[in-house]
Amino acid sequence: MIEARGLVKDYGTFRALDEVSFSFDDPGIFGIIGHNGAGKTTLLKCMAGLIQPTAGDLVIEGIDVRRNPARLKEMLGYLPEESRLYETMTVESYLRFFGDIYGIPADECRIRSDKLLSSLKLDPQGKRIGELSKGMRRKVAIARSLLHKPSLLIYDEPTSGLDPMTSRYIIGYLAHLRDTMQKTILLSAHNLYQVEEICDRVLILRQGKIAAFGTMDELREQFGSLSYHIRFVTADPSALPHSLSFEEESGEYVVIAESMDDLNSVTAAVASAGGTLRGIESRYPSLEEMLLMIGK
Ligand SMILES: Nc1ncnc2c1ncn2[C@@H]1O[C@H](COP(=O)(O)OP(=O)(O)OP(=O)(O)O)[C@@H](O)[C@H]1O
């Protein structure tokens, strides 16, 4: 159970989080999205106990994060937006170093590291961290965040800067951590298709305030109803009613109808102008469209 009540974070006179309140009590993946500077990293850092909120309450799994951030660290794996790894260490010695910090015995640490590296499909071949690619380094940072078997993961842009294949692999891996290991994952991301794909709940921040919060279905309901994308061909588009606004896409015409009545009148108009329907697709607004509606 995660509960934030009236969370405020000021950096000097600038208010980065402004009375943020939400609660989230199921295990699952919780996405935080928003334009640049909306306050995502600030909120994640507050939840990880890395910075102190200026005001408000934050309770995670019964732990009062403001008063007892050290207790939270035992159950938390944190992945910062940019991980500073120790460049001259090998991956194995880096994970062993963190295993020591967590008090994991050397043998157990080796077993866990091997397992994590293999499940992340990372074969460092004795290389030093400074010699690894960006995607490999991100995987090392993820392995480090999981070494002490935390139940809660806070990941700031886990796939930023990764190629599509690595990025897809990481997203699949996070879904696996939720589905087979029952981890709760809080993440921020700019790739909204990925958020839409794996997040059970999404919080949209705008200028430090909550603009929307809910499951994808709840957000779709909040941001608008179903629309219908009608595709058709016609030899004579000038025969269509002038009021009909359409676009041309790869030799077909597309009209967006906002209601069933609209859909009926568009299809009737296409038929009477001698056109032929090619398809009707029903669509809810995507997260990207929601974010554009909210504005900066
Ligand atoms: N240490 C700081 N001192 C002063 N202002 C800060 C500090 N950290 C963040 N801010 C400001 O707080 C606001 C929110 O920043 P934050 O990094 O939380 O946004 P974000 O949503 O994570 O942005 P991005 O998507 O660009 O990573 C920004 O206006 C930023 O300039």
DSSP 10-56: EETTEEEEEEEEEEE-SSSEEEEE-STTSSHHHHHHHHTTSS--SEE
Domain count, the chain: 2
Structure tokens at 201: 């709940």
Q: Which domain-ending residue is among 200, 222, 244? A: 222
Q: Which helix (H) or strand (E) holds 280?
A: strand 276-283
| pLDDT computed for residue 283 by the predictor | 83
Whether residue 287 is found in the same domain as residue 214: no
Cross-strand bridge partners of residue 2: 24, 60
Whether residue 213 is found in the same domain as residue 284: no
31 in contact with ligand 1, CB cutoff 6 A: no
Which residue, among 231, 145, 213, has the nearest Cα to 183 in the 3D structure?
A: 145
Residues of the chain with pLDDT under 50: none
Using the atom order of ligand 1, give the atom closest to the CA of residue 81.
27
Structure tokens at 137: 């380094």
Instruction: Find out whether 149 and 109 touch, Cβ atoms under 8 Å.
Output: no
Q: Which domain-ending residue is among 203, 222, 241? A: 222
In what side-by-side order are the strands of the sheet with 2-11? 14-24, 2-11, 55-60, 63-64
How many Å lie between the centroid of ligand 1 and the Cα of residue 52? 14
Whether residue 218 is found in the same domain as residue 263: no
Whether residue 112 is found in the same domain as residue 241: no
| pLDDT computed for residue 249 by the predictor | 86
Whether residue 209 is found in the same domain as residue 74: yes
Atom 16, ligand 1: residue with shortest CA distance: 39
Whether residue 217 is found in the same domain as residue 237: no
Burial group, residue 74, by CB count within 10 angstroms (0-12, 13-18, 19+) = exposed
Instruction: Find out whether 33 and 205 touch, Cβ atoms under 8 Å.
Output: yes
Q: Which helix (H) or strand (E) holds 204?
A: strand 201-206
Structure tokens at 3: 């509960």
Whether residue 287 is found in the same domain as residue 193: no
Give φ, ψ of 283 to 5 degrees. Answer: -140, 140
Whether residue 27 is found in the same domain as residue 65: yes
Angle (CA) 59 221 174, round 5°: 50
Structure tokens at 24: 């989230």
| pLDDT computed for residue 285 by the predictor | 81
Write out the E strands in 76-197.
Answer: 76-79, 152-156, 184-188
Measured between its terminal Cα atoms, the distance across the chain in Å is 30
Amino acid identity of 97? F
> Which residue segment(s) compose the domain that 286 sits in?
225-294
| pLDDT computed for residue 124 by the predictor | 87
Give φ, ψ of 230 to 5 degrees. Answer: -105, 120
Whether residue 173 is found in the same domain as residue 247: no
Whether residue 245 is found in the same domain as residue 195: no
36 in contact with ligand 1, CB cutoff 6 A: yes
Q: Which domain-ending residue is among 162, 195, 222? A: 222
Q: Using one digit for the tens of pLDDT, what is the confidence trace for 4-55?
A: 999 999 999 999 999 999 998 878 999 999 999 999 999 999 999 999 999 9
- The interface predicted TM-score (ipTM) is 0.98
Q: Which CATH number fits the domain that encloses residue 123?
A: 3.40.50.300
Using the atom order of ligand 1, give the atom closest to the CA of residue 190.
25
Whether residue 243 is found in the same domain as residue 131: no
Whether residue 217 is found in the same domain as residue 232: no
CA distance 203 to 44: 12
Q: Which CATH number fits the domain that encloses residue 243?
A: 3.30.70
How many Å lie between the centroid of ligand 1 and the Cα of residue 89? 31
